[in-house]
Amino acid sequence: MGKTWYDALQLKVTQRLSHGLTLLSTFSWSKSLSLGTEIGEPNPGSTGNAQYNNVFDRNSNKYISAYDQPLFFNIALTYALPRLHANKIVGSVTGGWTYAVSAQYASGMPLQVPNAQSALDSYLFQGPSFANRVPGQPLFTVDLNCHCYDPNRTFVLNPNAWVDPEPGKFGNSPAYYILQRLP
C-alpha cells in the first residue's frame, strides 16, 4: 500500500596502502521520500499505523522520509596484523587479526511535525493529522548553535510555530519539516 523513493549519488574510494593498511571512504548525497509507509511506527522497520494527512487525497501525503539524511560520509582505516614467523604459537594467536577504526558524519534527521488536535480525524477513524506551520514564526526560540542555553531547562521549540487546522479541514503540513534538522 505504501511507496518509497530513494535517489542518491554514491561515491566509494578504497586505497590499499603498504603493510596491511587500508583506507576506505564513502560519501552519499541522497533524498528519501515516503508515501504512507513509516509514520506512527510501533517498531522500527515496521509500517505500523501509517498516518495520512488527508485520506481523500492520498498523493498529497508524499513527504520526506523520517530516515532522510541528505549528506552521509564514512571513513575507515583497517590494519591487518602480520603473522610472526619466529614463534609459531605467538604467530597463530596474533596472526590473522584485523583492527579497524571508523568515523561517520551525517546530516541530522528531519524534525517531525506535531500532530493537530482535530475531531475530524476521529470521525474518519484515522490517526491525527499534522498541524499547520505558521508563516513568519521561527521554529526555535533560541539559536541551537550559540551554546547559550541549558538543554535541561530551556524549551527550544517555538509552540507558536504550529497551529491546528480549521475545524472540518485537514492539516496541510508534510510529516517532516526539513528546513531544520535534528542535531
pLDDT tens digits, the chain, 183 residues: what are they? 678 899 999 999 999 998 889 999 999 999 998 887 765 544 555 544 556 666 677 777 788 888 889 999 999 999 998 877 777 787 777 777 899 999 999 998 888 788 777 766 666 656 667 888 899 999 888 888 888 888 899 888 888 998 988 887 778 787 777 666 665
Distance of alpha carbon 171 from the chain centroid: 23
Buried b (16+ CB within 10 A) or exposed e, 135-172: eeeebeeeeeeeeeeeeeeeeeeeeebbebbeeeebbe
Kindly state the cell numbers that stand for 113: 511535525
Burial class of 116 by CB neighbour count within 10 A (0 to 12, 13 to 18, 19+): buried
Residue 106 is part of which domain span? 3-181
How many domains does one find in the chain?
A: 1
C-alpha separations of 116 from 36, 40, 60, 131 in Å: 18, 14, 17, 4
Given a contact cutoff of 8 angstroms between Cβ atoms, the answer to whether 131 and 164 are in contact is: yes
CB 139 within 8 A of CB 173: no
pLDDT for 125 equals 59
From CA 35, how far away is CA 140, in angstroms rounded? 27
| Predicted model pTM | 0.69
